[in-house]
């Protein structure tokens, strides 16, 4: 296991690992420690909370969409930059593709050589001892190194502590509570039930970070409680002693995040970004993408121009390409309809064959009409056919594979197989048929999306790796040359 790295996970969703992660990030930040946070898998909500805590963008670790090499590179880059790497797992520690180990938080911890801190939920019907026992039974690499009990009342702590000591002794008879002997597991303390730790949820997870009231005050109070309980010092010990040197961050190699602040880029020696301009939607309705996708676009020579389909009247001047990521357009359908000038500008851009990538919420925006949470159909861009409405459950949820089976398109070449992910309740009555989609783990297949020489528009979220980002930027440059020549 590598020093300066930590994975925080749990037996399953709903154990409070997000709040524990945010509290620890806040406490470490208040100690003056420089950090890079990560979120495992295709999660776009929790990274917003991490970003608000640290003031720099959270990054995703996803061995399915990004591959093992680039996932490991993310963690290695944090180390090279002198940052402690704190990653929050998705769902349960061992919940991966098809409910199995591959691409789970545990799998990612293995790829990135991270020890694991397990969050146990004292309010769960299943006891803390059983939660831990189930995890230890699968921990073949002995990565679980510490345990923190969440929502634990002080009067209940001694009894829970006693049962957990028995489980940890069985896992490592030679180990001792509170020490870090070889193969040992440490119980580092507990976080009591706190009103500050309650965040409302909606259909895709927690409400977004920008909506949380008194966020800074709440995070500080959680951090103070973790400090008082000795949890923060124990975490630093788990990460193998003193953190890396806190050298001043350089101002070169920077990229913009959702709140306009700047943070490191993986590519400080990026190409000249003036060769094309790609407009990226980013506001309350659109924000679901991987920061590394933006880094790859910049490395490919694109200048990223952020804009708001909600609040801006038109696309940025000189736009050569359009990136409409996922988000919550259904929560802002009325405001999106009202912004007629922006809808007209986006429709004209797509109809003029400006290179465009539109995923999930961005795809819904390009359609004809979108149902809001009130059930009313609101007018959207009308660049693509289809009306979208809410369904009773998640639609085609999970990792999948796209296949470009008929010719080349903006992002894909014929016969290419592309990892992707879907996560949405709204569905369109006209999802497109240009791409083949399949889930090998479940034996499911269907057709979806619009994929042409200047367009990718579909429900599946993509990761723009270096190859796909280069294709997008090259198409934007080509469009720029053509429009300048006419």
- For residue 285 the two structure tokens come to 């309705």
Helix (H) or strand (E) holding 120: strand 116-121
Q: Which residues are catalytic, by number? A: 360
Concatenating the DSSP letter of every residue in 186-240 gives: EEEEEE---GGG---EETTEEPPGGG-TTHHHHHHHHHHHHHHTTHHHHHHHHTT
How many other CB atoms are there within 10 angstroms of residue 13's CB atom?
12
Q: Find all residues with CB under 8 Å of 340, minimum gap 6, and list them.
A: none
How many other CB atoms are there within 10 angstroms of residue 431's CB atom?
23
Nearest to 151, CA basis, from 195, 115, 213:
195
Question: Could you tell me if 324 and 281 are in contact, meaning their C-beta atoms sit under 8 angstroms apart?
Answer: yes
Q: What is the CA radius of gyration of the chain?
A: 23
How many other CB atoms are there within 10 angstroms of residue 181's CB atom?
11
Helix axes 466-485, 291-299, angle to 10 degrees: 50
Burial class (CB in 10 A: 0-12, 13-18, 19+), 485: exposed
Cα separation values, 103 from 41, 65, 68, 415, Å: 8, 9, 9, 24
Q: Return d(Cα 182, Cα 145) in angstroms, integer.
A: 10
Residues 300, 435, 98, CA angle at the centre, nearest 5°? 90
Question: Could you tell me if 404 and 418 are in contact, meaning their C-beta atoms sit under 8 angstroms apart?
Answer: yes
Phi, psi (5° rounding) for residue 351? -70, -25
Q: Return d(Cα 240, Cα 1) in angstroms, integer.
A: 10
Question: Could you tell me if 377 and 330 are in contact, meaning their C-beta atoms sit under 8 angstroms apart?
Answer: no
Burial class (CB in 10 A: 0-12, 13-18, 19+), 28: buried
Burial class (CB in 10 A: 0-12, 13-18, 19+), 443: exposed
Q: Return d(Cα 253, Cα 244) in angstroms, integer.
A: 20
Phi, psi (5° rounding) for residue 255? -145, 155
Helix (H) or strand (E) holding 342: helix 340-351
């Amino acid at each position: 296991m590598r020093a300066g790295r930590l994975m925080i996970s749990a037996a399953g969703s709903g154990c409070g690992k997000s709040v524990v992660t945010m509290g620890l990030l806040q406490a470490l930040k208040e100690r003056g420690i420089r950090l890079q946070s990560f979120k495992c898998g295709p999660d776009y909500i929790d990274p917003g909370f991490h970003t608000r805590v640290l003031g720099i963008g959270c990054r995703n670790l996803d061995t399915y969409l990004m591959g093992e090499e680039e996932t490991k590179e993310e963690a290695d880059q944090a180390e090279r930059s002198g940052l402690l790497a704190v990653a929050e797992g998705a769902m349960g520690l061992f919940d991966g593709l098809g409910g199995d180990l591959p691409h789970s938080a545990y799998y990612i911890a293995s790829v990135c050589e991270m020890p694991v801190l397990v969050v146990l939920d004292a309010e769960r019907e299943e006891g803390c001892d059983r939660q831990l026992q189930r995890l230890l039974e699968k921990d073949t690499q002995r990565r679980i190194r510490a345990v923190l009990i969440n929502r634990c009342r002080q009067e209940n702590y001694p009894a829970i502590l006693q049962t957990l000591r028995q489980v940890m002794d069985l896992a490592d008879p030679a180990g001792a509570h509170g020490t870090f002997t070889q193969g040992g597991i440490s119980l580092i303390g507990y976080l009591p039930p706190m009103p500050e730790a309650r965040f409302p949820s909606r259909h895709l997870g927690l409400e977004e970070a920008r909506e949380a009231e008194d966020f800074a005050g709440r995070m500080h109070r959680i951090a103070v409680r973790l400090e008082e309980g000795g949890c923060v010092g124990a975490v630093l010990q788990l990460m193998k002693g003193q953190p890396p040197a806190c050298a001043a961050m350089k101002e070169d190699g920077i990229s913009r995040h959702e709140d306009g602040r700047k943070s490191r880029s993986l590519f400080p020696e990026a190409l000249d970004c003036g060769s094309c301009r790609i407009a990226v939607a980013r506001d309350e309705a659109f924000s679901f993408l991987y920061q590394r996708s933006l880094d790859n676009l910049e490395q490919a020579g694109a200048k990223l121009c952020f804009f708001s389909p909600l609040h801006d009247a038109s696309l940025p001047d000189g736009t050569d390409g359009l990136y409409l990521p996922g988000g919550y357009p259904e929560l802002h359908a009325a405001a999106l309809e009202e912004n007629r000038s922006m809808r007209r500008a986006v429709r004209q851009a797509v109809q003029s064959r400006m290179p465009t990538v539109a995923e999930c919420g961005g795809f819904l925006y390009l359609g004809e009409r979108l149902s809001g949470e009130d059930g009313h159909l609101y007018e959207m861009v009308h660049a693509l056919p289809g009306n979208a409405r809410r369904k009773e459950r998640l639609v085609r949820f999970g990792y999948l594979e796209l296949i470009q089976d008929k010719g080349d398109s903006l992002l894909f070449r014929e016969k290419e197989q592309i990892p992707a992910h879907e996560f949405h309740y709204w569905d369109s009555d006209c999802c497109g048929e240009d791409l083949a989609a399949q889930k090998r783990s479940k034996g499911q297949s269907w057709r979806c999306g619009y994929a042409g020489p200047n367009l990718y528009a579909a429900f599946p979220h993509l990761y723009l790796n270096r190859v796909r980002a280069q294709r997008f930027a090259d198409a934007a440059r080509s469009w720029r040359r053509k429009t300048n020549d006419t």
